[in-house]
Amino acid sequence: MAAHKTPKMKIKKNDLVQVITGRTQANGGDRGKTGRVIEVYPERQRVLVEGINRVTKHTRAGVGGGAGGIQTVEAPIHVSNVALVDPETNTPTRVRTRVENVERNGRQKATRTRVAVRSGKDLA
């Protein structure tokens, strides 16, 4: 039996993303909201975004060291439901990689750069 390979994700930690699907904000959803990616789960194809997909969690006193009660925490959202925000136009965009050949120490080395499809600007 072959081991499953974790799929590549184009969204990375600290990227600014916008929710592109789901219920609108007027109906209590998160569509249109933007936030920074806190954590990426490539094996589950999900991302944890700051301030997005908040759920209430009931915790018991003493578990996890502290008082019990109701807490609101972010839950992971599927990567297909978010899009990277273009740094120039502040609109959702797709991500493309550009391969450049760079010479270092007399050797040719291929480097990949993430590029916003909408504006063509490099992404950090």
> Whole-angstrom Cα distance, residue 38 to residue 97?
22
Report the CATH number at residue 50.
2.30.30.30
As a whole number of angstroms, the distance between CA 50 and CA 88 comes to 21
Q: Are residues 28 and 11 in the same domain?
A: yes
Residue 11 sits at φ, ψ, to 5 deg, of -100, 130
Phi, then psi, of 80 in degrees rounded to 5:
-75, -15
Same-domain status, 36 and 9: yes
Residues 41 and 102 in one domain: no
Query: Rounded to whole angstroms, how far apart are CA atoms 103 and 80?
Result: 36
Residues 81 and 99 occupy one common structural domain: no
Do 98 and 81 lie in one domain? The reply is no
Check whether residue 74 and residue 107 sit in a common domain. no
Residues 61 and 101 both lie in one domain? no
Tell me the residue range of the domain where 100 lies. Answer: 93-123
Tally of domains in the chain: 2
Order of strands across the sheet that contains 16-19: 77-78, 46-49, 34-41, 16-19, 82-85, 92-93
How much is the pTM? Answer: 0.82
* Residue 44 sits in the same domain as residue 105: no
Walk along the chain (124 residues) and give the pLDDT tens digit of each residue. 566 788 889 999 999 999 999 999 999 999 999 999 999 999 999 999 999 999 999 988 876 667 888 989 999 999 999 999 998 999 999 999 999 998 888 888 999 999 999 999 998 7
